[in-house]
């Protein structure tokens, strides 16, 4: 018997390990004769071991996947919960912001409505003010004293209400209130009147019920008030005639009067009605200034005294008809005309203002230059030269049958021009023409540098002024005359006049048919007759800023209180 030695084998720990090891060793040593049963048993054992190992892996993987899904689910739940809570939180913020924005908008509207409420109330008071309204001399002096002491009694007098002006309104849960007050700025004092300037402040507050916030706004404006014996140039259109309420309402419509809107004044110009005797019946102050004399009553101006002033022989004989330039040792005065003028023509020649006087006795021509300070006065018998300029006051004790603008021809004569719109008042000239009887305007009276575009006048940096005044009383004899300003029937159909016109007795009349009178300035008349013609009036607002332009204008016969202007300046929101 032979024995074969086997190599030492490693210990087997399991049947599967043993089978696997035996199989390996047997094949390794060349034994292939194992029986089929053993082989099958080996395969079964091997497969069973592999299946057991695979099942363990699968169970382990299943356990692993089950924990991951739970973790992912928890994480997704956290994410969606956070997103949901965030959306809810942001929705609350959005709702709060939307509510705040809505309330803020409502507060803006409420605050704005408060300003509108206060402004509307103030404008109603100003528009209903009777301007000008009569004052006693004592009342005028008291208002001046209070204004000098920075009081606002003059404003209360103008508005007819006590200050401050308080108003309030509401709508549903929104409410607003306003308060209007005035603060003194400055005063311009003249001998017979004064011009007071105030700052108007309209403050408002808007609120919403059950909402603690409020919104405030303010509107600043400027107000001008005039009091005393005012220059009539400050009043756009005055009818010095007693009319009842119905006649006043129909006056504008029946006479076809239109006012051009104002750029500097929120209160549109309107017709002022007086009870009579507001337009002066004399021109004493202008006559005294032109003649460089002083007198207490017109009858003190005798023929003898007037002849002395005019440089004539001192007798009681009447003053000869003609044109006289007043002069004394102190300089030149105005122009005095005795008798009727057939024609008065204003013209511009280079730097000279020209005024030509045509009478039955001959032609007188006055030329003066404010820029050069020179005057040339041509009479039918001589030509006089002065290194001075005269006062711009022309006193005509008689009629002016034709007044208008014209040109100078090469021969040195002035001619009236009706076909063209020719400037005839030079810049820098303040001219006042006063007649005791009647003035007929035959042509345009346009100032240098003023442009009329689409029938609207534009004045910029111009400082010239023209006043035309008829008194209806003889300057020497103090007898009644016609006292009327007439726009001639043969004048241009679209006639343009830049002047302050005042007619004391018979008033103002437009003759002819189909005419339109354009006035840049003001008109004051005891009566008005349009004869079916139109009147377009634009108030010259330069007068509110340049008081020197009205220094020789006629003044009201009685003290009055008058609105000058009202202009909003700045709107603020807080």
Question: Which tens digit of pLDDT belongs to each residue from 530-573?
Answer: 999 999 999 988 887 777 778 889 999 999 999 999 999 988 87
Q: Does 281 lie in the same domain as 177?
A: no
Question: What is the percent of the chain where pLDDT is above 90?
Answer: 49
pLDDT for residue 15: 46
When pLDDT is averaged across residues 127-145 and rounded to a whole number, the result is: 89
pLDDT band at 509 (very low <50, low <70, confident <90, very high): very high
Q: With 90 as the cut, is the pLDDT of residue 128 above it? A: no
Using DSSP's 3-state secondary structure scheme, residue 376 falls into strand
Q: Does 206 lie in the same domain as 136?
A: yes
pLDDT for residue 299: 54
CA distances 31 to 15, 17, 22, 39, 273, Å, are 20, 19, 11, 12, 148
Using DSSP's 3-state secondary structure scheme, residue 143 falls into helix
CA distances 422 to 144, 448, 449, 508, Å, are 44, 9, 11, 24
Nearest-angstrom CA–CA distance, 430 and 500: 12
In a domain? residue 50: no
Cβ atoms of residues 406 and 442 within 8 Å: no
In a domain? residue 40: no
Of 268, 285, 126, nearest in space to 192 by CA: 285
In a domain? residue 395: yes
Q: Does 517 lie in the same domain as 437?
A: yes
Q: Does 480 lie in the same domain as 465?
A: yes
Q: Does 572 lie in the same domain as 521?
A: no
pLDDT for residue 122: 94
Q: With 50 as the cut, is the pLDDT of residue 416 above it? A: yes
In a domain? residue 205: yes
Nearest-angstrom CA–CA distance, 541 and 560: 20
When pLDDT is averaged across residues 34-42 and rounded to a whole number, the result is: 46
pLDDT for residue 573: 79
Question: Which tens digit of pLDDT belongs to each residue from 454-469?
Answer: 777 877 667 889 999 9
pLDDT band at 1 (very low <50, low <70, confident <90, very high): very low
Q: What is the DSSP letter of 8?
A: P
When pLDDT is averaged across residues 284-299 and rounded to a whole number, the result is: 77
Q: Which residues of 120-141 are buried (b: 16+ CB within 10 A; e: fewer)?
A: ebbeeebeebebbbbbeeeebe
Cβ atoms of residues 422 and 406 within 8 Å: yes
pLDDT for residue 182: 95
Cβ atoms of residues 235 and 514 within 8 Å: no
Q: Does 400 lie in the same domain as 322?
A: yes
Which residue range forms the structural domain that includes residue 211?
67-229+558-574
Stronger pLDDT, 127 or 339, i.e. the higher one: 339
Cβ atoms of residues 565 and 222 within 8 Å: yes
Q: With 70 as the cut, is the pLDDT of residue 394 above it? A: yes
In a domain? residue 477: yes
Q: Does 458 lie in the same domain as 532?
A: yes
Question: What is the percent of the chain where pLDDT is above 70?
Answer: 86
Q: Does 376 lie in the same domain as 344?
A: yes
In a domain? residue 427: yes
Question: Which tens digit of pLDDT belongs to each residue from 87-109?
Answer: 887 777 777 767 677 778 888 88
Q: Does 107 lie in the same domain as 168?
A: yes
In a domain? residue 331: yes
- Region label for 559, one of left (φ > 0), alpha (ψ between -120 and 50) or beta (otherwise): beta
Number of domains composing the chain: 2
pLDDT for residue 23: 43
pLDDT for residue 61: 55
Q: Does 335 lie in the same domain as 190?
A: no
Strand partners, 231: 555
CA distances 527 to 21, 487, 502, 557, Å, are 145, 14, 11, 17
Q: What is the DSSP letter of 548?
A: G
Beta carbons within 8 Å of 281's beta carbon, 6+ residues apart: 471, 472, 473, 504, 505, 557
When pLDDT is averaged across residues 377-388 and rounded to a whole number, the result is: 93
pLDDT band at 219 (very low <50, low <70, confident <90, very high): very high
Start-to-end Cα distance in the chain: 125
Q: Does 295 lie in the same domain as 196?
A: no
Cβ atoms of residues 552 and 274 within 8 Å: no
Q: Does 460 lie in the same domain as 319?
A: yes
pLDDT for residue 55: 60
CA angle, residues 172, 174, 175, in degrees to nearest 5? 115
CA angle, residues 222, 227, 230, in degrees to nearest 5? 110
In a domain? residue 252: no
pLDDT for residue 65: 54
Question: Which tens digit of pLDDT belongs to each residue from 174-198?
Answer: 899 999 999 999 999 998 999 999 9
Strand partners, 133: 561
């Amino acid at each position: 018997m032979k024995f074969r030695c086997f190599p030492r084998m490693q210990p087997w720990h399991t049947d599967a390990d043993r089978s696997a090891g035996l199989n390996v060793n047997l094949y390794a040593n060349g034994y292939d004769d194992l029986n089929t049963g053993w082989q099958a048993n080996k395969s079964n054992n091997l497969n069973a071991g592999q299946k057991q190992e695979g099942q363990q892996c699968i169970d382990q993987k299943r356990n692993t996947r089950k924990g991951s899904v739970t973790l992912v689910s928890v994480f997704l739940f956290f994410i969606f919960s956070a997103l949901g809570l965030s959306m809810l939180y942001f929705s609350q913020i959005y709702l709060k912001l939307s509510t705040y924005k809505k309330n803020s908008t409502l507060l803006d509207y409420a605050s704005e409505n408060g300003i509108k409420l206060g402004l509307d109330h103030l404008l109603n008071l100003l528009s209903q003010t009777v301007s000008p309204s009569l004052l006693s001399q004592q009342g005028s002096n008291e208002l001046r004293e209070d204004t000098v002491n920075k009081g606002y009694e003059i404003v209360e007098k103008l508005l007819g209400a006590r200050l401050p002006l308080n108003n309030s309104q509401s709508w549903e849960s929104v409410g607003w209130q306003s308060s209007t007050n005035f603060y003194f700025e400055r005063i311009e004092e003249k001998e017979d009147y004064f011009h007071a300037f105030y700052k108007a402040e309209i403050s408002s507050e808007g609120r919403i019920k059950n909402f603690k916030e409020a919104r405030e706004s303010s509107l600043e404006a400027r107000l001008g008030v005039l009091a005393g014996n005012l220059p009539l140039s400050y009043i756009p259109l005055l009818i010095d005639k007693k009319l009842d309420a119905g006649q006043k309402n129909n006056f504008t419509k029946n006479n076809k009067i239109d006012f051009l809107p104002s750029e500097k004044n929120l209160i549109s110009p309107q017709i002022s009605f007086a009870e009579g005797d507001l337009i002066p019946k004399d021109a004493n102050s202008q006559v005294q200034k032109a003649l460089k004399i002083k007198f207490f009553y017109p009858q003190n101006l005798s023929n003898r005294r007037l002849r002395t002033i005019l440089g004539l022989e001192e007798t009681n004989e009447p003053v000869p008809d003609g044109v006289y330039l007043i002069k004394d040792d102190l300089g030149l005065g105005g122009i005095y005309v005795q008798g009727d003028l057939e024609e008065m023509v204003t013209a511009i020649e280079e730097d000279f203002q020209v005024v030509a006087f045509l009478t039955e006795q001959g032609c007188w021509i006055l030329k003066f230059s404010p820029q050069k300070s020179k005057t040339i006065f041509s009479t039918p018998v001589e030509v006089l030269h002065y290194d001075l300029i005269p006062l711009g006051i022309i006193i005509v004790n008689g009629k002016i049958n034709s007044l208008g603008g014209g040109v100078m021809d090469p021969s040195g004569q002035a001619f009236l021009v009706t076909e063209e719109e020719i400037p005839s008042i030079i810049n820098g000239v303040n001219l006042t023409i006063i007649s005791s009887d009647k003035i007929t305007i035959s042509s345009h009276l346009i100032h240098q540098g003023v442009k009329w575009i689409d029938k609207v006048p534009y004045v910029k940096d111009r400082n010239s002024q023209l006043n035309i005044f008829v008194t209806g009383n003889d300057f020497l004899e103090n007898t009644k005359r016609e006292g009327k300003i007439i726009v001639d029937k043969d004048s241009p159909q679209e006639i343009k006049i830049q002047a302050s016109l005042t007619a004391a007795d018979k008033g103002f009349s437009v003759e002819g048919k189909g005419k339109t009178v354009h006035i840049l300035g003001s008109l004051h008349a005891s009566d008005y007759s349009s004869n079916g013609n139109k009147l377009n009036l634009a108030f010259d607002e330069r007068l509110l800023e340049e008081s020197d332009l009205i220094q020789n204008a006629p003044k009201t016969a009685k003290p009055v209180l008058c609105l000058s202007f009202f202009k909003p300046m700045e709107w603020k929101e807080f």
